[in-house]
Amino acid sequence: MAVCLARPDRAAHASIANRPHALLPRADSTRVDADADAVSRGYAFPTRTMSRRPSLLAKLAWFAPLGVLTIPADRYAPELAAATPPASVRASPVAATHRRTVELTLTAAPTRLSLRPGGVTNVYAYDGQVPGPTIELREGDRVVVHFRNQLPEPSSIHWHGLHLPFTSDGGPFHPVAPGGQHDYVFTVPPGTAGTYWYHPHPHHHTGHQIAMGLYGAIIVRADDDPLPATLPEKLLVLSDNRFRADGAIDLADPRSDHARMDAENGREGDVLFVNGTVRPTLTIRSGEVQRWRVINASAARIYRLALQGHDFLHVGSDGGLFERPVAVREIVLGVGERAELLVRGTGAPGSRSVLQTLPYDRYIPQTRPADWNTPRDLLTVQYSNEPAVAPIAIPAVLHPVPALDTLHATATRLMVLTQHLINGRSMDLARVDVRAPLGATEIWEVENLVGMDHPFHLHGFRFQVLDRNGVPEPYRSWKDVVNVPRHETVRFIVRYDDYPGKWMFHCHILDHEDHGMMGVLEVTP
């Protein structure tokens, strides 16, 4: 059944707020073929009201496995002069079911939107929205997406991080002509609940089309999610852009110095967006624990996230939850990466905090931007005036991440990164760079020889990082992008399950990818 997606009122998205939850019971086994709710038009997710009745465990500790984190509330004095005006956010309920077909239509077309206050800009948008509609799926869903390309140029939709058949990957092998359409059909494998995203992937033009506004979030939910279903959930899609004085998106003239700088560093913009809005406000109640899903949809920017006065409990990465939560002060999120975090509302009712991205030096000194070391505000976290809720216990054990066994690896692939090249080669669609049989387990050793970070991405198959510069990864997680810092080497292990085809691997700095920093892994049946 097709989903009708109404054109949203952008004003409705000015802040990230809770919305009464409308989930069916998780155990509900009613067959649901309709999917009218699989695509949400807003940026927040259904939430349930927090239980006011603290469990015994909750009284003992908040992050039970990690001891009690107590931070005095008086550290959270209001620090911002002005808050973004609150507004409602639309979100859709999710139907819990065993197996269902989710069928929807996504149309990419030029349109005009106000991305920033006071200006209207020519953009490309999925269904008239930037970012595009959030697609909410469940493990086991069969997904059919009818893509209509109404852009004046070839495009595609790539389902970043999802494990699916080659013909539905939406990579550069499968461009959709202007005016054309394509059906992407895949089933979401069990065990892959996590945060993903979608974006175009036309050869040489991915950066341009994402800059114009084509990107959106995908949430895959599990029936056996170990985190309490009562945690209010928030989605934060991070991006940045650059605008000309007349309000148009500033795409550098290919012959300009600016373009050369973009080609080197990757295009960064001075305007930072969360869910397509500049510095929105997210509300939290004192004592509440929120589950945040964060997506780095920027072309080149690496985020170093910190929330003033708060710690994060890092619970998941690209392909879903960790085995155990990890308490951290900051989270570095490379291009294309995702993080799942728990944020505890340790602030006092009525107080405020700011989510920032702190300086992260990913550049060679010669082209490092002058303002690289300035912290940038992303989001205001506003405490409601309601009294604090009682703490809630977070499970010490989340979701198993079974280790891929290095003893089963049949090959080690060396990938040497230099500026715009992998193993000294530039991308050629007619060439296969690596060939491997279906079902093989391999180790990839990605060595960055240059003085700039390169976030490395593999299509089709998720992997586990083994070590960085020889230091074993402290815990396992499912990844599809790993940032390889300057002059460092990262090793990961991957198994080519299920799907033969020609899978891309590339640097996810879009300018690097578009300039050929990409190769082809052919998995043969």
- Which DSSP state fits 510? H
**Residue 201 binding result from Cu ion, ligand C2O, none, given CB thresholds of 5 to 8 Å by partner type:** ligand C2O
Give, as ranges, the residues between 92 and 131 that touch ligand C2O (CB under 6 A): none
Contact of 179 with 149, CB cutoff 8 Å: yes
Cis omega (within 30 of 0) for bond into 189: no
Q: Which amino acid is at 248?
A: A
Taking CB under 6 A as the criterion, the residue among 132, 175, 216, 336 binding ligand C2O is 336
Give the binding range for ligand C2O (CB under 6 A) out of 77-85, 260-268, 357-365, 504-512: 504-512
CA 359 to mean position of chain CA atoms: 20
Residues 434-473 close enough to bind ligand C2O by CB under 6 A: 457, 459
Residues 173 and 151: their CA atoms lie apart, in Å, by 18
CA distance 462 to 480: 5
Give me the residue whose beta carbon is nearest to Cu ion: 507
Binding-site partner at residue 507 among Cu ion, ligand C2O, none, CB < 5 to 8 Å by type:
Cu ion
Give the whole-angstrom CA distance, residue 224 versus residue 254.
Answer: 50
Residue 506 sits in the site that holds ligand C2O (CB under 6 A): yes
**Which C-beta is closer to Cu ion: that of 301 or that of 454?**
454
The two tokens of residue 214 are: 């084509």
Q: Tell me: does residue 160 bind Cu ion (CB under 5 A).
A: yes
Q: State how far the Cα of 442 lies from the Cα of 492, in Å rounded to an integer.
A: 8
Q: Is 208 in the site for ligand C2O (CB under 6 A)?
A: no
Q: Which stretch binds ligand C2O (CB under 6 A): 31-39, 72-80, 123-131, 503-511?
A: 503-511
Phi, psi for residue 489 in degrees, rounded to 5: -125, 130
CB of 424: closest distance to ligand C2O in angstroms?
Answer: 21
Residue 213 makes contact with ligand C2O by CB under 6 A: no
Q: CB neighbours of 240 closer than 8 A, spacing ≥ 6?
A: 268, 269, 270, 271, 272, 273, 298, 299, 301
158 lies in the binding site for ligand C2O (CB under 6 A): yes
**Distance in Å, CB of 257 to ligand C2O, minimum:** 28
* Cβ nearer to Cu ion, comparing 75 with 203: 203
- C-beta of 206 vs 351, nearer to ligand C2O: 206
Which residues, numbered 422-461, are part of the site for Cu ion (CB under 5 A)? 454, 459
Contact pattern from residue 303 through residue 342 relative to Cu ion, giving x for each residue in contact according to CB under 5 A and a dash for the rest? ----------------------------------------
512 binds, among ligand C2O, Cu ion, none (CB under 5 to 8 A by kind): Cu ion
Please name which of 100, 167, 126 lies closest in space to residue 41, comparing C-alpha atoms: 126
Q: Does 221 bind Cu ion (CB under 5 A)?
A: no
Q: Interior CA angle at 375 toward 318 and 310, to 5°? A: 65
Q: Are 343 and 201 in contact (CB under 8 A)?
A: no
The footprint of Cu ion on this chain (CB under 5 A) covers a number of residues equal to 6
In contact, 52 and 123? CB cutoff 8 Å? no
Rounded to whole angstroms, how far apart are CA atoms 130 and 183? 22
The H or E element containing residue 257 is: helix 257-265
* Closest separation in Å from C-beta 197 to Cu ion: 9
Residue 454's binding partner among ligand C2O, Cu ion, none (Cβ under 5 to 8 angstroms by kind) is Cu ion
Q: Residues in the site for Cu ion, rule: CB under 5 A?
A: 160, 454, 459, 507, 509, 512
Residues that bind ligand C2O (CB under 6 A): 158, 160, 199, 201, 336, 457, 459, 504, 506, 508
